[in-house]
Structure 1
Amino acid sequence: MPTELSVNLNAVAMLRNRRDLPWPDVVHFGRIALRSGAHGLTVHPRPDQRHIRFSDLPDIRHLIDTEFPAAEFNIEGYPTEEFLALVAAHRPEQVTLVPDDPSQPTSDHGWDFSADAALLKDVVARLKGQGARVSLFADAEPGAMAAAAATGCDRIELYTGPYGATFADPAAAEAEAARLGATARAAASLGLGVNAGHDLTVANLPRLVSHIPELAEVSIGHGLTADALEYGMAETVRRFVSACAGRSPVPTGQG
């Protein structure tokens, strides 16, 4: 199966939140993304609402339900009771749990599956009881996958920040991709699906996909939104979909 693209709308929301104005419109750009080939939309509603606001969630849910019923809504965050209440209210197809401190600017590490086993088992069971697929943010550590599987989760989401940071060093990029690939194989051998996200670009996605043929989904926000400033959202999504298939994107205006 091809790797699916979920477009993270947080960076669009961050631009909107710089002013007390309704643009850029998060739902509008979500609609463009889904029309252009994205499989789903991702949001990370942080407690301070500095990116996605809680009030955005019903509008995104409505967009998917009424216009793109085959698409998926992915809500990610740390499992506070406030977060879990948002999930229960808006019924995402997938919930991605991350071990973030509320003050972190962005997710920057995976779960310690052994230390956090009790918390994760409880929350995973709770979310699966509501019908959600549950994915857990994970570092590239093959040996940690047995503990991840023991939580009862459906998937892991590989944290690809260290891989993204190798953009100027091809040898380091290959080494990081190999580590991610080994972790994905370990996860798959235990029956876990594999997602990935963080600092992924059209340039580094083909290498990642080649190392992880079982990669089900990538969630991309920052790099995709940056490219949209140059190419527009529709063309950018098409470029990322092409990269998810392991192909170099067709130059804009061609093909």
Structure 2
Amino acid sequence: MPAQLSVNLNAIAMLRNRRDLPWPSVTGLGAIALEAGAHGLTVHPRPDQRHIRFSDVPEIRALIDDAFPDAEFNIEGYPTQDFLALVDEAQPEQVTLVPDDPMQPTSDHGWDFITNQEMLVAIVNRLKKGRMRVALFCDPDASEAQIAAARTTGADRVEFYTGPYGACHDDSEKAANALKDLQKTAELAHASGLGMNAGHDLTVANLPALVEVMPHLAEVSIGHGLTADALEFGMAGTVKRFLSALQPQDD
């Protein structure tokens, strides 16, 4: 089964926030993406609300519940008390915990699962009591010990940070090396019983190679590259292009 596509709406929200106007519509474009075949929507609300606003979250929840009941809502963020209260209210199907400083422009590293194990165990347990799937942001070259520690948190999945791979868009040798790291760590995660997601700087061009080395990949969350393509191909056409790129290639 191909990896599912969750469309990250942050870049759309950031464009909207340049003006005190309601367009582009976050929910409107989210609906177009789901209608075109995306399996879910992702947001990463930050304390300064520089892209997704807290008020967007219930609107996206309502969109999925009312019009796309088979779709999933994924909320990413650092587990502050405010963030946890937000997800308790929204009840997303999946919560992805990231180790970001609130002021970071974007996510750029995974958890140190060993150092943060006690905290993560408590938070994962709280979220799973709310019947939410939990994914933890993970470095693409995480060690066997780190993956073992991730497993003991009780999380359902890890989400591989694919930024280093995406940054190699103009260097095929570096891209091949980055894929080797991802493949090795994915094999460790699969062997440990963890599900796998991936996200950051993924594109139509680099997805097929990623899918090939990560055959157990469950989901990709894509925002920046997908939104950039949507300026050229439209949201519906772009979603279809990304879904095609996720299909395993015949030998």
TM-score with structure 1 setting the length = 0.96
Q: Distance in 2 between matches of 1:105 and 1:29?
A: 23
1:178 CA displacement: 1.4
* Alpha carbons 1:94, 1:134 under 8 Å: kept: yes
Q: Distance in 2 between matches of 1:76 and 1:12?
A: 16
Q: Deviations over 1:118-177 (max 9, x none)?
A: 110000000000000000000021422101101110000000000000101111111111
1:107 aligned to 2:107? Answer: yes
Q: 1:250 corresponds to which residue? A: none
1:126 aligned to 2:126? Answer: yes
Q: Distance in 2 between matches of 1:237 and 1:178?
A: 27
* Alpha carbons 1:142, 1:187 under 8 Å: kept: no
* Alpha carbons 2:166, 2:206 under 8 Å: kept: yes
Correspondence for 1:197 among 196, 199, 213:
199
Q: What SS class does the counterpart of residue 2 from structure 1 fall into? A: coil
1:101 CA displacement: 0.2
Q: 1:20 corresponds to which residue? A: 20
Q: 1:171 corresponds to which residue? A: 173
> Counterpart of 2:64 in structure 1: which amino acid?
I
Q: Deviations over 1:47-102 (max 9, x none)?
A: 00001000001110011001111100000000000000000000000000000001
Percent identical among aligned pairs is: 66
1:185 CA displacement: 1.0
> Counterpart of 1:218 in structure 2: which amino acid?
V
The size of the alignment, in residue pairs, is: 248
Q: 1:228 corresponds to which residue? A: 230
Q: Deviations over 1:220-247 (max 9, x none)?
A: 0000000000110000000000111145
TM-score with structure 2 setting the length = 0.97
* Alpha carbons 1:40, 1:72 under 8 Å: kept: yes
Instruction: State the 4+ residue runs in structure 1 displaced beyond 2 angstroms.
Output: none
* Alpha carbons 1:205, 1:246 under 8 Å: kept: no
Q: 2:43 corresponds to which residue? A: 43
Q: 2:138 corresponds to which residue? A: 138
Q: 1:251 corresponds to which residue? A: none
Q: 2:210 corresponds to which residue? A: 208
* Alpha carbons 2:151, 2:192 under 8 Å: kept: yes
Q: Distance in 1 between matches of 2:238 and 2:205?
A: 12
> Counterpart of 2:147 in structure 1: which amino acid?
M
Gaps of 5+ in 1: 248-255
Q: 1:34 corresponds to which residue? A: 34
Gaps of 5+ in 2: none
* Alpha carbons 1:142, 1:182 under 8 Å: kept: no
The 5 Å alignment of 1:64-75 reads 64-75=64-75
> Counterpart of 1:211 in structure 2: which amino acid?
V
Q: 2:58 corresponds to which residue? A: 58
* Alpha carbons 2:2, 2:248 under 8 Å: kept: no
Q: 1:252 corresponds to which residue? A: none
* Alpha carbons 2:158, 2:195 under 8 Å: kept: yes
Q: 1:217 corresponds to which residue? A: 219
Q: 1:83 corresponds to which residue? A: 83
Between stretches 46-55 and 136-145, larger displacement belongs to: 136-145
> Counterpart of 1:206 in structure 2: which amino acid?
P
Q: Distance in 2 between matches of 1:230 and 1:152?
A: 41
> Counterpart of 1:241 in structure 2: which amino acid?
L
